[in-house]
Chain A
Amino acid sequence: MSKANFKTLHLRGLCKRFGECTVLENAGFELHSGEVHALLGENGAGKSTLMNLLTGVYVPDQGEIVLDGQPCSIRKPADAMAHGIGMVHQHYRLVERFSVAENLVLAADRAPELQRLPVAAKALQETAEQLGLALDPYARVADLSVAERQRAEICKVLALGAQILILDEPTAVLTDTESESLLAAIQRMANAGKGVILITHKLREVVAHSDRVTILRQGRAVASNLATESLTQADIAQLMMGDVAVSQRQPSNLQTNGPDLLVATGLSASRNDGSTAISNIGIRLRRGEIVGVAGVGGHGQPQLCEALMGLLPIDSGSIQLDGFQISQCSVSQRRSYGLRYIPADRATNALALDLPVSDNLALTKVASGSKGRFWISRKGLFQDAQNTITEHRIAGASPQGLTRLLSGGNAQKLVLARELDNDCVVAITHSPTRGLDVKSCGAVHTALRELTSRGGAVLLISEDLEEIMTLSDRILVMNTGCITGELPGTASASEIGALMIGGH
């Protein structure tokens, strides 16, 4: 069962690799009883992996987890619960057809006393009262609102004896008033001696409601256990996104007052569930320019890409490409005018991993019919693929080889070789260097610069400020689906950071 009085939890030097990809390197922090510890980082920075190590979903390759001076081995989720570590996931682990109390009974295989329904209900009731939350233990989960389900999940995990509670972006799904009451409850948990790890993207919450903060970037802890008292939101934003000295930047050599290649005005679009994803976005992209769109993740970036490409229908607004009105065009028509797309998630949106390299290199050309209107010569595809592989130095690739076997950097080279072809006019790129090593990043940057120097333009949407600042000639800042400001490419990280958190 859980330890009654946890004092400190240390995570030390944790490393995790998947194949060749290092997702966590020497990361760690400490958590005291009575503390709210915020864990920050962009998508892919390693937050989820770190929490998965703590909750026994993964086993670390190196490093140790020390609870009250005792190294503890957490090899499966049940071990974590036995040490009093509980997690409230973004997707709640509740059976909808059961009542809240029944869900607790279901989860209580290590706590026999909670297996009686009245006891479980009473435990939930008491936990909820301590936290100042309203909860009906006998309500059916299916009838509860999102906020109520979250309360149910939190009370369930605490009733099971959790001393350390991990909350994964708990306010992302809540309204402002709901968030306030949840954050107050989190404070009460800490006052009662629990340790709370709060994962969030909202910097305001970090400053106002956490005691210390740990920031991950690219698998490393760039700041551990910083006291939040002395920090501003802008400080935190800067730590999260990194900074680049002006000398390292590579602004375009061309005059950037060329003709407009891509003009989007008043662009609005909704997600599948009807909520607004982007609203009234205006973008102007001139010949020879790289325009960065900076912003914290989850603020409509993928939807902006999809709306520009024609993958997401727009509610209003217009898009012009090289003088052509394309807002009503299909993806293939937009591509025929020279629009190209390098999405953030190669594996799901850019590459068919189970097919050979030659297929993936040829697919846009086959779609447009330029490899043959009716018949495709397989030999021709292999030959073209071989040429491209040689020309772009895609290591480990053969025309017949499976695309799945390529490393991240080489898979991205494949996407670049296909998308940044000679007919490319404007490339929409979303985090094109995510998950790549330094050398591959350099190759991506060179390819993008090469496109602008031959008269194209690049829209660089990224959650990595370092990437934006290194490449962009101008920087737009995106926040909750809107463009909140424009800065020159020489803007400092704190200037950009100030715009990113504004309006929150």
Chain B
Amino acid sequence: MAFQFALQRRANTSFLRSSLTFSGGLLLGLLLCVALLIQAGVPADMLFDDLVWQVFFQADGLAQTLTLSIPLILAGLSAALALRVKFWNIGIEGQLWLGAIAAMAVSIYGVGSDSYRWALMLVAAMAGGALWIAVPLWLKERFHASELVVTLLLSNVAFQLMLHLLFGAWRDPTQSFPISPAISEPERLLKLGFGNLHTGLFASIGMVFLVMWIMERSRFGFQSRILGSNRQVAEASGIAVGTTLVVMVLLSGAMAGLAGGLLVAGTEYRLTQHLGWNMTFSGIVIAFIARLRPFWVLPVAVVLAGVYNAGATLKVFYGLTEATVLLMQGIVLLSLLWCQFIAAFSIDRRQEVSV
């Protein structure tokens, strides 16, 4: 007599269940990290302090965490928008770099007047990101080229373009490093007087609510839900498939571009080649954990920023290797995902019918 196990998707996942599993996953991940860190020689009594207190409850640490979360929120939104219509955007970094280049270009060529150039820079950043994702979208719809490959490879092109500018035309002659000149004072986003935190945070949060409105309240959002779930049904019911796809995918690129613009105008004040690394995979992970719901992107991005922040501290103070920090981040993410899986499915045991 054989038993079979079957995974059964739950009909409904309640809000309580999602919240509990999210906290449970976070706790499990942190506990595993604690074990890992103790093993790596970090004193046990300092762990809570470094992992939680410093990054979330202490002013400097919290400011740093929130500053880090600004581009992460936008990367998460970018991934969520594209995944909603089953478009695999593996080139968030590329769009971010194009956004940063576009913002920097507005500053370098002095477009518009000083008083509102910062706004032009951000708009240009969004346009740059949208332009960079328009190419793979067109190739996919016209020639069935896999967007997975094209977006990924176009990131390399964007990076080379950035290096070309940094080593050439845009290089700051007064610096020995290949970086662009700094943007002028009025072009910089205002500091909030809380660490390095700047008004870009409001832009990010604003985008969360804008995207939430579009995805959950607008006609486009509804249509994209159908399109992402079953394209044939979308076509047969008369949904404007092309328009919906273009709007959602270009918005995805624009969010990534805006992240680049905010890094230039709010944090770095110049174009450098160290901008926005790892944003693609962070963005996808955030979108997945948030289950493509824009509102949840916000807390998830802040938690992930905290983990990155703690990782940086641990590296400096305890001489942990980069690999250990990456492992730690991976453990937290996997625990979150695993717990979510358990929340969405139940495991049924069935007895096989004897023949």
Contact = CB atoms under 8 A, between A and B. Distances in A.
Whether chain B is bound by chain A comes out as yes
A335 B238 contact: yes
A203 interface: no
A363 B244 CA distance: 14
A48 B12 CA distance: 34
B217 interface: yes
Interface stretch (A123-131, A352-360, A442-450): A352-360
A366 B222 contact: yes
A341 interface: yes
B238 A368 contact: yes
Given A331-B236, A343-B236, A353-B230, A376 B355 contact: no
The listed residue with most A CB atoms (<10 A of its CB), out of B217, B223, B226, B355, is B355
Interface in B277-332: none
The listed residue with most A CB atoms (<10 A of its CB), out of B236, B240, B353, is B236
Contacts of A348: 230, 232-233
A343 B232 CA distance: 11
A311 interface: yes
B233 A375 contact: no
Interface in B337-355: 353, 355
B239 A363 contact: yes
24 contacts: A59-B355, A60-B355, A61-B355, A309-B236, A311-B235, A331-B238, A332-B238, A335-B237, A348-B230, A349-B233, A349-B236, A351-B230, A352-B225, A352-B230, A355-B229, A359-B225, A359-B226, A363-B234, A366-B239, A371-B219, A372-B219, A375-B218, A400-B12, A401-B11
Given A309-B236, A367-B238, A354 B229 contact: yes
A376 B218 contact: yes
A504 interface: no
Interface string B110-145: 000000000000000000000000000000000000
A367 B239 contact: yes
Interface residues of B, number: 25
Interface string B193-229: 0000000000000000000000011110111011001
Interface in A270-323: 309, 311
Given A359-B226, A374-B219, A375-B218, A367 B232 contact: no
A91 interface: no
A375 B12 CA distance: 25
Contact of B238 (A350, A352, A355, A364): A364
A372 B219 CA distance: 7
Interface residues of A, number: 42
Contacts of A352: 225-226, 229-230, 233-234
B353 A61 contact: yes
Interface in B142-198: none
B217 A378 contact: yes
Nearest to A65: B355
Contacts of B9: 402
Contacts of A311: 235-236
Given A352-B230, A367-B238, A405 B219 contact: no
Interface string A49-72: 000000000011110000000000
Contacts of B216: 378
Given A348-B230, A359-B226, A367-B223, A341 B217 contact: no
A290 B226 CA distance: 31
Interface string B235-260: 11111100000000000000000000
A355 B226 contact: yes
Interface in A404-444: 405
A253 interface: no
A363 B219 contact: no
A77 B291 CA distance: 39
Nearest to A335: B238
Nearest to A348: B232
Contacts of A402: 9, 11
A277 B353 CA distance: 44
Contacts of B222: 359, 362-363, 366, 376
Given A332-B239, A359-B226, 19 more contacts: A61-B355, A75-B355, A334-B238, A335-B237, A341-B236, A349-B233, A355-B229, A359-B222, A363-B237, A367-B223, A367-B238, A367-B240, A375-B217, A375-B219, A376-B218, A378-B217, A400-B12, A401-B12, A405-B11
A375 B237 CA distance: 19
Contacts of B225: 352, 355, 359
Contacts of A330: 238
Nearest to A401: B11
B98 to A, nearest CB: 29
Q: Which 3 A-B residue pairs are closest in the complex by CB-CB distance? A: A332-B238, A352-B229, A367-B239
Contacts of A61: 353, 355
Contacts of B12: 400-401
A386 interface: no
Interface in A369-412: 369, 371-376, 378, 400-402, 405
B2 to A, nearest CB: 10
Contact of A376 (B219, B230, B236, B353): B219
A369 B218 CA distance: 11
A484 interface: no
Contact of A331 (B217, B226, B235): B235
A351 B217 contact: no
